[in-house]
Amino acid sequence: MTQSLYRRHRSPTFAALIGQEHVTTTLRNQVIGKTVAHGYLFTGIRGTGKTSAARILARAVNCLAVKDGEPCNTCESCTAILEGRAMDVIEIDAASNRGIDEMRSLRERVHFLPAMLTTKVYIIDEAHMLTTEAWNAFLKTLEEPPDHVVFVLATTEPQRVPETVRSRVQRFDFRRLSLEELGSHVKSIAKAEGRDLDGDAADVIARAAHGSARDALSLLEYVVAFVPEVDGHVTAEAVRAALGLADPARIGALVDRLAAQDAAGLFAALDELFDLGVDPRQIVRQVGELVKTCARTALIARGESVDGVDTAALPASSWVELLDAVLKREATLRHASDPRSEVEFLFLAALVTLDSRNGSGEAVPLAAAPAPPAAPAAQHVVKNTAAPHPEPAEPVVDTHQAAVVEQRVSTPSPSTGIPQGNELWKQAVERVQRVDAMLAGIMRDCQVEDMSQGTLRIRPSYAFHHARLTVPEKRNALLATLSALNPEVTDIEIVFDADAGKGSASTAPTADEVARQVTDLFPGSQITKSRLRDPSFESSNRSADTSPSPAE
């Protein structure tokens, strides 16, 4: 079995570490001046050379022919360390050796003199995984180790290392590698392996690695295995096919359709990407990168185009809002069971949001929307205004009218598979449940009355449900969900019978009703103990206590 690329091509010297000159220069000078510290903390994202630098330092302090602070890698000491035969270079994985017992053992062994080298070097990887007790046991040894010992702690999460430890060591931050550095590194490694990469192909791999050299070499190894070795040439198209990436031109066309609010063209372009087998997560990630660039361009050099997208098509505020929506959706896609539907919902919601804005980028006031039909005098219609939170009360609804309304909204639409009425409301509840369980619970207690001129009329069952639905954030989120399911819905009208609420305000809900409301608001919950009192039961007891006895 062959070694992975990142193991075969580890940096042998400080000079070979790419992108970390601020670290390697300091370490070389310390080796030259024989001022190597007793403890170091190497921090940075994965794949930036922390462990490689620790191993180079271990060879440099033990090298028999060190030159300019660099190990020769040919003497007996360097060869023993490279081959893993040196007993005095100890690498500890703190993720699996994180307890106090391991640190006590280390504290006892650290005082023994080196067996074959001049300096013992302890490399503790993933140091942030050590427990508090382990750190406490290790602290005094780390502060005052023997002269023949050097500690190197490597971690990706320095904030989890105790401050008492950070103050006792020298900290070096390994920075994220740039696209140019990664692209050049990948191309040189591919050439050493007998494969020729296009410049664009190396850039695609570098961009997908997100600043990690190890990730870049792992991706290169996968690409090399994917592309048939005919002439050893690897193109950018082959890399995108191997990694499930989309052509930037297609992503540009997708964002351009979105900016132009061309729904038909947008979903046609999106379907083409899905048909090509592009990963939905990669689509969202690439769209996010392009939208971010468009937002910056719209702020700095408005009017310029980016990858075929006219940044002047939308104001900078809309680009920023789109970027926020894409980033949030990218986070939820990691655990989504149906990524394609999530991506489609992202673009549906974005189109609805853009459609509700005018050319200046300001939100269209709700007052400009078509006026809803006049409500009966006994009803109080509230649209997008806050309301007080009275005690919940059962609404007074005419049973005959309710039956007529139920029959009307349950009638399927003659149009195609667009949900209508109760089916539309049911699907909206299921979709809202994924992001806001409390709002979904409130929606389950609402009735759909009718829809006229794009306005869907709904009636909540309780006063506090009505108050929550009229909160602007909840109302706008509900409207966006309904519009995504049925584009005919352009507004919602929340109808609540205020007189009925006042007339029944004195009648408090029973304990069973309150318990049912709680379980509806928190689906999946179970009430194991309750201190609620039933008012009807108490009133009946009070009347029985005050009634005259037969003797009277």
The pLDDT tens digits for 371-425 are 444 444 444 444 444 444 444 444 444 444 444 444 444 444 444 467 787 888 8
* Domain extent listing, the chain: 5-173, 179-243, 249-355, 380-503, 511-540
Per-residue confidence band for 224, with pLDDT thresholds at 50, 70 and 90: confident
pLDDT digits (tens, 9 = 90+) for 296-323: 888 887 667 888 888 888 888 889 999 9
Q: Per mean pLDDT, which range of 106-115, 467-476, 539-548 is the poorest?
A: 539-548
Cα 421–Cα 424–Cα 428 angle in degrees, nearest 5: 140
On the 0-12 / 13-18 / 19+ scale of CB atoms within 10 A, 265 is middle
Cα separation of the two ends of the chain: 102
Q: Are 27 and 35 in contact (CB under 8 A)?
A: no
Instruction: Judge contact between 288 and 327, C-beta under 8 A.
Output: yes
Question: For residue 363, what are its two tokens?
Answer: 């939100």
Query: According to CATH, what is the number of the domain 179-243?
Result: 1.10.8.60
Q: Which of 218-227, 458-467, 502-511 has the lowest mean pLDDT?
A: 502-511
Rounded distance between C-alpha atoms, residue 332 and residue 342, angstroms: 9
Least confident of 8-12, 274-278, 290-294, 405-409: 405-409
CB 312: neighbour CB atoms within 10 A? 13
Choice between 44 and 477, residue whose per-residue pLDDT is larger: 44
CA distances from 317 to 286, 321, 361, 362, 363 (A): 20, 6, 7, 9, 11
* Residues 158-213: tens digit of each pLDDT: 999 999 999 999 999 999 999 999 999 999 999 888 888 887 889 999 998 989 99
Torsion of CA 334, 335, 339, 344, to 10 degrees: -90
Asked whether the beta carbons of 532 and 495 are under 8 A apart, the reply is: no
Comparing 113-122, 329-338, 501-510, the range with the smallest average pLDDT is: 501-510
> Distance of alpha carbon 100 from its chain centroid, rounded?
34
Rounded distance, CA 12 to CA 41, Å? 20
User: Which residues, in sequence order, are CB contacts of 434 under 8 Å at separation 6+?
Assistant: none
Give me the residues paired with residue 258 across strands.
none
Which is more confidently placed, 361 or 474? 474
Percent helix, strand and coil across the chain, each rounded to 5? 50, 10, 35
Q: Name the nearest CA neighbour of 137 among 111, 165, 113.
A: 165
* pLDDT at site 161: 93
**Pairing of the two strands 455-460 and 446-452:** antiparallel
Query: Alpha-carbon distance 390 to 505, whole Å?
Result: 8
In this structure, are residues 213 and 53 in contact, taking their beta carbons and an 8 Å threshold?
no
Tokens linked to 537:
């039961």
Query: What residue has token string 């079995």?
Result: 1
What DSSP element (H or E) covers 457? strand 455-460
pLDDT class of 1 with cuts at 50, 70, 90: low
Q: Which helix (H) or strand (E) holds 121?
A: strand 120-125
Decide if 431 contacts 481 (C-beta within 8 A).
Answer: yes
**Residue 115 neighbours by CB distance under 10 Å:** 9
Mean pLDDT, rounded, for 532-548: 48
Domain 380-503 has CATH 3.20.20.70: no
Judged by average pLDDT, the poorest of 17-26, 407-416, 465-474 is: 407-416
SS3 227: coil
SS3 436: coil
The amino acid occupying position 167 is: S
183-189 contacts: CB < 8 A, separation 24 or more?
185/18, 185/213, 185/216, 186/216, 186/217, 186/220, 189/5, 189/9, 189/217, 189/220
What confidence tens digit (pLDDT) does each residue in 448-464 have? Answer: 888 888 888 888 888 87
Q: Which SS3 state, helix, strand or coil, does residue 440 take?
A: helix
* SS3 (DSSP) at 193: coil
C-alpha span between 285 and 281 (Å, rounded): 6
> What is the band of 537 on the pLDDT scale with cuts at 50, 70, 90?
very low
Give yes or no for residue 507 having a pLDDT over 80: no
pLDDT of residue 533: 55
Q: Tell if the pTM clears 0.85, that is, is over it.
A: no
Residue range 249-355 forms a domain whose CATH class is: mainly alpha
Q: The domain 5-173: what is its CATH number?
A: 3.40.50.300
Q: Residue 338's pLDDT is what? A: 87
Instruction: Work out the angle at residue 475's Cα, subtended by the Cα atoms of residues 503 and 523, and round it to the nearest 5 degrees.
Output: 80
Range with the largest mean pLDDT of 47-56, 189-198, 483-492, 540-549 = 47-56
Measured between alpha carbons, how far is 485 from 430 in angstroms, rounded to an integer? 11
Q: What is the mean pLDDT of residues 46-58?
A: 95
To the nearest whole number, what is the mean pLDDT of the chain? Answer: 81
pLDDT for 530 equals 66
